[in-house]
Structure 1
Amino acid sequence: MMRLREQIVLAVMVVLAGVALGIVLGGGLGSFSPRITDANHQLAGMPTLQAAGATASPSLTPSATPSVRATTRSPVPDELTTTLPLTTATPEVIIAYDFAAPIVGLPQVVSDTWSAGVVDGRYRMQLNGRTSVSFTGPLPFEHYRLSVDLAVHQGGAGVIFLAEESGSIYRFLVTPDGALAIERQAATGEVVQVVPWSASPALAATPGVENHIRIERPGDGLIHFFADETPLVRFAVPPGMVQNRYGLVLTARQGQGLATFDNLRIERLP
């Protein structure tokens, strides 16, 4: 009888410990999960649009305009789900990462087809066979400012900034030759260009040169995009159930892409 009672007490203690661990792991901004699939949008050879006076990069050989088409989504591998810690630098700063060391929740992965991780003080994403990889996490407030130093060596890279209840995400992409676009990627893998590819003289048109990208949602119904202090484009928040998300994305049709991210900073706006 005593042994049975001890077993029951032990079982209850294990359950309580599991619940406590779940609370600890579920804190902060929630999970930061990879979306790793070849069904992500494939840039059709990379656009040749460029800033005035710039010369085309030798690595951007195709000249076709990016095409958008539905694709069949590949099975997603087991997701890495980890809570991202909050920083307390100032009351309004929610996230401030300089990538001096690996960040809990952002994958450190080296595989045959893609890799991601902190290298030389920057978060480095590379494609070597995959057409796209991205990581996203939730922002539990409506008005925010996000900034990051982005250097695109090959492919198209940028920031995820919004999501729909259906699972669709919105991403802002930049190419090495100074072109930008905003795309909506459905959960099925289909991609629609919301803001078509265009060149901006405010963006560096040299592979590997950093652009300081800033995204703001101040509460006027629009999301504003900047390179340094220069406005790039404004995007109207779509109607319906949308939520703020943040994340990093790299995509390339030919499966060869490389970008680095540094000084990721997110602030809550009034």
Structure 2
Amino acid sequence: MQRFDDKVVIVTAAASGIGLAAARRFASEGATLVLADSDLAKLEHAAASFDLPLRRLRMRRVDMGERAEVEALVAYAVDAFDGIDVLVNNAGVSAFGYVSEIAPQMWERVIAVTLSSVFYASRAALPHLIERGGCIVNTASISGLGGDVGFAVYNAAKGGVVNLTRALAIDHASDGVRVNAICPGVTGTGSTAWMRKHSVIMDSFEERLPMGRMGRPEEMAGAIAFLASEDASYITGINLVVDGGLSACTGQPAFRKLVETAE
């Protein structure tokens, strides 16, 4: 199935994790790709496995926290392929700590990469997306839908992505541009590798996850590709939760297990 034949797709933070899986999925379905990452060597190494001809692939080093570089990425894609059909805003960074502990510079960096990059990339791409009836898919997070202990900055940034997605969708539906986001739960990427080394952390997560495991980057990529495709032609303004059922729970204890233990 080649849902993205003749479609130009930008994917940010594409050298690893969800971004790499999304790029690979789009490539497998016929897309022409413009991939961005802060680590160009890593991106080039990862993209080599796609086996795409130069006419279907461009790569660029981009610091997504810098407005000029984000805007230049969009201009580069338009110059290379005469337009854009899909923008995947996937870049994001996190920081652990309470508001009283986080340095202002860390706040500014997390907001710049995780939230402001979505604004600047979308702003630059919109004229081209309007011209071709394209769409935007953002990578938000379930951490943008609720709070996490010690992740205030990340919660704020991803919460901004969630509501910016909604606002962009309603503002530009009449222009023929759809805007959606996925909200992943904990996913097995490089950024969570340290968690998988600690059985206490993994046991705690698996106890709370109805499906009993972390998500896979390929599962997030499937959701991104769906939202970017014509299969989702009447879907806009949603933040699609992809979390193995984690956020379906109220957060209360597992009463049945507690009762069985008490007995």
TM-score of the alignment, normalized to the shorter chain, above 0.5: no
Larger relative contact order (C-alpha < 8 A, sep ≥ 6)? 1
Q: State the TM-score, normalized to the length of structure 1.
A: 0.26
Bigger Rg, which one: 1
The TM-score with structure 2 as length reference comes to: 0.27
